[in-house]
Structure 1
């Protein structure tokens, strides 16, 4: 008859031995890491140096994580809080007196008093775009400097240094504003929602936020979006639309070139009409989704004219649609259009006053 008792005892002994081995292994690891009774002086020093190195490495890792993951978010919150407080501050007589001659929007006096580079305020209803705009001596000054002049990776929204803001209210024909697209989702991060890889979702976003407001010290104005573009800035990728160089139009031909290029390259059509003499607002930020270096998302809007409604009707918004074939650089067409050549224009030539329809238009245009 089998000796079940001995079998049970044998099994229990094996379990105890395994447990003891685990305990011995854990103890060996601990003894190998920290100073232990019986260690030589040299061994104790080695262990102390090792432990100090581990602690130092952990501290460095935590500092790096904080700097690149949490510090930008803290800066964003602190910045937005300070801007909000400044905006709620009632301008003093002294601040108003410091404004340039003929400035009428005195609510911005506190901002101008702090930074004379202040030129206006940009906002888009319903999204996190509600910031002061500055203008530096060049287009790099405010890339890593906040509104208060302090170093910040977030930078500040700034106007092209060659744009004009006259005290008569006159501006350049095309005012260009630049802003970072950062993980902290401030400044121009939400501008990228106008042009995501999922264009159907971006179209819905455009329908919800089709108007931009940009007020200077001398006037208040709204702009209707008519173009949302993915722009290449590298010649190695092919065609480059040098929109930053177009601030004014010497003649109607230059005007027609700019507006037609914006429509050719736009992902969407909103039906906004344009005529020579109109003013434009261009928002420019970096793009990171398509997988190419130095791409830009560019949103262009036409200034609302005197006597014109500053909003779209429900019918107009419902008519917003995608461009069947967007003009893109060679590399984008190879990656996303199977290498097919651009087929031509699908927008209504009547949207640009006096623009002549030619063979480049491929379909009967809609309103």
Structure 2
């Protein structure tokens, strides 16, 4: 008789959410579906939190740290007396000393006014040229990677491989790293940002943008334009290279270029078509030259040369351009060559 009146055991609270002994089949299935949904929500939320909040904050904190070091030394150099030299005994800029203690692969710095671009530039060896593609300046893995020079480049001005510096970086969807470069699809944006600062451990530099172009990397879209050149066989070879960038430029900038100029190409992924790149080409401001640009002269280029695949996908007619700089010069088609 005692068993008949025994008190029924109370189910624990957790039985309300977990499948439990005595659950009917429908109830057990409901709980399993709920648990799967909850786990999916938590995992997805955690990934989003990492991708959209934690990781970007870590990138910003690391960037702020080296920015404080670099710009503090920059300010010291600006206030140095005439007896002080901004270079050390090895011919390197002193403002890079502390940065190179963090990582000797830090070979430069780039800053664009009114953008987030204010970053160190790394450079690895030719044995592993994309070493910093997904590593930060502390060599920790990061989807943001680092901005880095082409491994073939020399930062010594006397070296032929410094004639055309190439700088790579990711165009992140959140605008970090080289994300701002995609804004150069707008003429108004170019007019507001026609120059930038880029220093190497060997020299300071201001740079004037003379071409903004889109190019392909996939042969299925037409023969890719080889803009990844660092040295040239002659002045004519160099000027023909500039000519090829000028006819591809979205704008006629009004910035002149000479055979004696040093140039830099900022290259980043673009999304108009698979494998596309946006490239910003700039020349170093010459000694004694005004660092500003008269952007009132800048206009849209009415005969932009795009990759062949562009016309197949987006329509339009491919413009006809003379094949070489020499031909265009002979026919008076060059308006960007600096006067000697």
Matched, 1:327 2:305: yes
Aligned counterparts, 1:75-90, within 5 A: 75-87=58-70
Partner of 1:3: none
Write out per-residue CA displacement over residues 151-179 of structure 1, whole angstroms, 9 at most, x where no aligned residue. 10000000000000128798610001001
Matched, 1:211 2:201: no
CA pair 366-143 structure 1, distance change in 2 beyond 3 A: closer
Moved over 4 A (4+): 33-37, 41-51, 88-92, 167-171, 352-355, 364-367
Name which of 258, 270, 293 aligns with 1:275: 258
- Counterparts of 1:128 and 1:214, CA distance in 2: 14
TM-score (norm 1): 0.75
Matched, 1:240 2:224: yes
- Counterparts of 1:130 and 1:80, CA distance in 2: 8
The CA deviation at 1:366 is 9.2
Contact 1:273–1:353 (CA<8 Å) still a contact in 2? no
- Counterparts of 1:217 and 1:57, CA distance in 2: 49
Partner of 2:278: 297
Contact 2:117–2:177 (CA<8 Å) still a contact in 1? yes
Matched, 1:180 2:170: yes
Partner of 2:331: 358
- Counterparts of 1:242 and 1:36, CA distance in 2: 63
- Counterparts of 1:308 and 1:366, CA distance in 2: 16
Write out per-residue CA displacement over residues 67-120 of structure 1, whole angstroms, 9 at most, x where no aligned residue. 33333422332222322333355699xxxxxx78211x2122211110000111
TM-score (norm 2): 0.80
Rg (Cα) greater in structure: 1
Q: Give the paired residue count.
A: 308
Partner of 2:22: 40
Partner of 2:119: 131
The CA deviation at 1:58 is 2.1
Aligned counterparts, 1:22-37, within 5 A: 34=17
Secondary structure of residue in 1 paired with 2:290: coil
Which is further off, 270-279 or 324-333?
A: 270-279
- Counterparts of 1:318 and 1:74, CA distance in 2: 39
Name which of 108, 111, 117 aligns with 2:96: 108
| Structure 1 residues without counterparts, runs of 5 or longer | 1-32, 93-98, 196-201
Contact 1:135–1:160 (CA<8 Å) still a contact in 2? yes
